[in-house]
Amino acid sequence: MRLLLLRHAKSAWDVPGAPDFDRPLAPRGRRAATMIGEHLAAHRLLPDRILCSSSRRTRETLIGLLPVIASDLEIRITRDLYEVTAAAYADCIAALGGSARTLLVIGHNPSVQECALELIGSGNPALRDEIGEKFPTAGLAVIDFEHHKWSELRPRTGRVVAFFRPRELEIVGSEPPSDDE
């Protein structure tokens, strides 16, 4: 099984009085979401199921991905991924991952970063260090598991196989956005 942990793309902070839950993506975030979607499609990292936080910026990140990854997949929008702990992320994955072979989770930091670090037990140590150092907006961790059911998910049973940041991805004819907080 493969878990794709994606932090939402860069959000806008220029909407006075908007609650955190309702913050939209910034233009740079919309470009990054599309770029990540194109990267997923190009590298055949296509999910069968998506779990997405119900906040506006995560839903807008999902919308940016769909034109390039859309296929026959299940999407679950859930408040269970908003303002919760890394342990709650793991619980949500175990409970809602269903029968997905490749599961994409779109959420928030610090929970996405902490969940990735909690689940990684093997793989390239440099990738784990990079994830621990900074998990930027639109950052994507790819973690493989030997389990056959998401309900069997346990700490330190995953093998990190990749970590992508928008600034490292190049699309012909455009400049990648920066990945600042």
Topology of the domain comprising 2-10+23-168 = Rossmann fold (3.40.50)
Question: What does the pLDDT read at residue 15?
Answer: 73
Question: What does the pLDDT read at residue 17?
Answer: 80
Is the pTM higher than 0.85? The answer reads: yes
- Kindly give the parts of the chain with pLDDT less than 50: 170-181
Residues 126-159: pLDDT tens digits? Answer: 999 999 999 999 999 999 999 999 999 999 999 9
Pick from 55, 53, 64: nearest CA to 31: 64
Domain boundaries, the chain: 2-10+23-168
Question: What does the pLDDT read at residue 18?
Answer: 81
Question: What does the pLDDT read at residue 122?
Answer: 97
Question: What does the pLDDT read at residue 168?
Answer: 79
Question: What does the pLDDT read at residue 71?
Answer: 75
The single-letter code of the amino acid at 23 is R
